[in-house]
Amino acid sequence: MVAVYPGSFDPITCGHLDIIERASRIFDEVVILCAVNPSKTSMFSLEEKQRLITEAAGHLPNVRVDHFTGLLVDYMHANGFRVAIKGLRVISDFEYELQMALMNKRLAEDIETFFMMSGSEHLFLSSSLVKELAGFDTPLDALVPPCVVGPLLEKINSKR
């Protein structure tokens, strides 16, 4: 079975990668979907995000990257996919994710949301927090995949 892992991935973090690696051991194929969260402004372009994800997940043969602008359920239907993976970090994620899962269920009865708990070492992580820390010369090694560090620092420095 194919599972779709949607997100903004601005940029991909070690928390995302942990979910992707674990999901790739459960599902035949995992499609990482760069989707649009209308309430967010991106630091990285779509092409940059996809390139970083492809490189970070390059060691996983059954993982590929795609992108879509629009409703997740429309993407799922257009491609014949039925499972969407969402990662849960903290209790506060649950309310929002439950709301999205129920709305997606209402929009498309045949699509299931598959929740995975984030690894305990990533419970505090978010893309925004990583971008904030990158501006303060904090080591980023444990927070983002190695291929993300350089491009992230470049973005931060170009804005100074």
Active site residues: 16, 40, 89, 127
DSSP string, 96-116: HHHHHHHHHHHH-TT-EEEEE
Report the candidate in 137, 117, 152, 160 with the shortest Cα–Cα distance to residue 42: 152
Q: Does 71 bind ligand COA (CB under 6 A)?
A: yes
> Could you give the 3-state DSSP secondary structure of residue 140?
coil
Q: Where do the H-state alpha helices sit in 10-159?
A: 14-24, 46-56, 72-79, 91-107, 127-134, 146-158
CB of 158 to ligand COA, least distance (A): 20
CB of 70 to ligand COA, least distance (A): 7
The three-point CA angle 113-127-21 to 5° equals 50
> Could you give the 3-state DSSP secondary structure of residue 10?
coil
CB of 98 to ligand COA, least distance (A): 11
* One residue of 98, 100, 149, 153 binding ligand COA per CB under 6 A: 100
**Which of these ranges, 8-16, 22-30, 139-147, 152-160, lies near ligand COA under the rule CB under 6 A?**
8-16
Q: Does 145 bind ligand COA (CB under 6 A)?
A: no
**Which of these ranges, 49-57, 123-131, 134-142, 152-160, lies near ligand COA under the rule CB under 6 A?**
123-131
Site residues (CB under 6 A) for ligand COA? 6-8, 10, 13, 15-16, 19, 35-37, 40, 71-72, 87, 89, 100, 103-104, 118, 122, 125-128
